[in-house]
Structure 1
Amino acid sequence: MEEETEVPEVQEKPRDPNDKTVYVGKKNVMSYVLAVVTQFNQGLPEVKIKARGKAISRAVDITQIVKNRFINTLKVSDVVFSTEELPSEDGTISKVSSIHLTLTK
């Protein structure tokens, strides 16, 4: 018989309503484009887009779509590339590339 191991529950931090960051994941690109445009339409002067791993190219696509189709005056004021260390399922540490894009009107 296999013994069941208890997986610790991950505590999600409550999201700050003033957080102006869009985290890019697996949804379709236009969902993130809408999120960015909505934040700018609410009057925010700056929006950040963050992505890791395979989603990095999607974050760049989102930035270009917003800039070329929706907000022509948009500027990419900062681009930061980094490597994050994440624990994998087998307990080892995996290094994952990440990008942080800062967009300003």
Structure 2
Amino acid sequence: MSTGERHESKDTVFIGKKPIMAYVTSALIQLANNPQVSIKARGLSIGRAVDVAQIIARRTDNSGGYSIGQIKIGSEQLQSLDGRARNVSTIEIEVKKTA
């Protein structure tokens, strides 16, 4: 996932600094209308993205709801505040309907 190939679409949840349940709710709303949703994060938000995907998959496990699909990891090169280029890790987790 490089900065040049970002495809902003309605079936993507970008993880930031909000509470985890805000992202879980957003993903579940999108999954009500779409067969799958991508959860994307970079840097320190990667752990929060994994938590969001796990909450969705585990909480809906008994009802046959959603499962985790493909997981993509990578890195982006960003410019820091002091002007130097640095690499930042990225993750994209696919969550999809199972039934």
In the superposition, the TM-score normalised over structure 2's length comes to 0.82
CA distance in 1, matches of 2:9, 2:81: 32
1:80-105: per-residue Cα shift (whole Å, max 9, x none)?
01011001111110111010011110
CA distance in 1, matches of 2:66, 2:37: 10
Q: Which has the higher helix share?
A: 2
Name the residue aligned to 2:42. Answer: 52
Unpaired runs of 5+ residues, structure 1, are 1-15
- Name the larger-Rg structure: 1
Q: What pairs up with 1:1-105 in 2 under 5 angstroms?
A: 18-41=9-32, 43-70=33-60, 72-105=64-97
Q: Tell me: higher relative CO, structure 1 or 2? Use CA pairs within 8 A at least 6 residues apart.
A: 2
User: Secondary structure of 2:59's partner?
Assistant: helix
Question: What root-mean-square deviation, in Å, do the aligned CA atoms of Structure 1 and Structure 2 show?
Answer: 1.8
Letter in 1 for 2:69: S
Taking only the aligned residue pairs, the percentage that are identical comes to: 37
Q: Which has the higher strand share?
A: 2
CA distance in 2, matches of 1:17, 1:86: 19
Name the residue aligned to 1:7. Answer: none
CA distance in 2, matches of 1:30, 1:86: 28
Unpaired runs of 5+ residues, structure 2, are 1-6
Once the two structures are TM-superposed, the CA of residue 18 in structure 1 deviates from its matched residue by: 5.0
Asked whether the 8 Å contact 1:37–1:70 carries over to 2, the reply is no
Once the two structures are TM-superposed, the CA of residue 17 in structure 1 deviates from its matched residue by: 8.8
Once the two structures are TM-superposed, the CA of residue 73 in structure 1 deviates from its matched residue by: 3.0
